Structure 1
């Protein structure tokens, strides 16, 4: 087993809103994405769909220095406390590692 430190984590997040809830999805994301930098992460890019039925309403690219930083963000109590808001707005999420 290596003692080398864990490398950076790069992720893509695709988000679909419930019907008619795209603005609520964006508002929720505005709130929680502000927390990422407090955990050493960075929002590299955030894009919004325009008239693209069936496609994600929002696409995000993130960078975290390590798994501990990502876990700290995902488990942040301020983020998890907004679960009901998230559930009301977000129909589907896909999160996967990427290279950039």
Structure 2
């Protein structure tokens, strides 16, 4: 399962959002996920991640990981907004 995540940091909270992403992306391997690429625009307000999971089960378990959810709750309104797109190689 190949995903592209477009991550928009909360206005004026790019540093907090980037730190959150650092911590959350470190959880991927617990669920069989691999961050293949992480890119950031020049302002630091948007990131793009290319992430691969062995299957949907890994992605689903990542999404409900208690540590991930706790990090997001702790960040509150400063949490980034993420659009995830399932893609395939051509």
TM beyond 0.5 = yes
Tell me what 1:20 maps to: 12
Asked if the contact 1:28/1:85 (under 8 Å) is kept, the reply is: no
Task: Write out per-residue CA displacement over residues 11-44 of structure 1, whole angstroms, 9 at most, x where no aligned residue.
Answer: 0000111111111111000011101011111001
User: Structure 1 regions of 5+ residues with no counterpart?
Assistant: 1-8
Pick the structure with greater CA Rg: 1
RMSD: 1.7
Unaligned runs of 5+ in 2: none
Answer yes or no: is 1:60 the counterpart of 2:52: no
Greater helix proportion: 2
Q: Give the length in aligned residue pairs.
A: 89
Q: 1:32-66, CA deviations, whole angstroms, 9 ceiling, x for partnerless residues? A: 110101111100100111038xxx61110100001
TM-score when normalising by structure 2? 0.87
Q: Counterparts of 2:70 and 2:26 in 1: how far apart (Å)?
A: 15
Structure 1: how far apart are the matches of 2:16 and 2:23?
A: 11
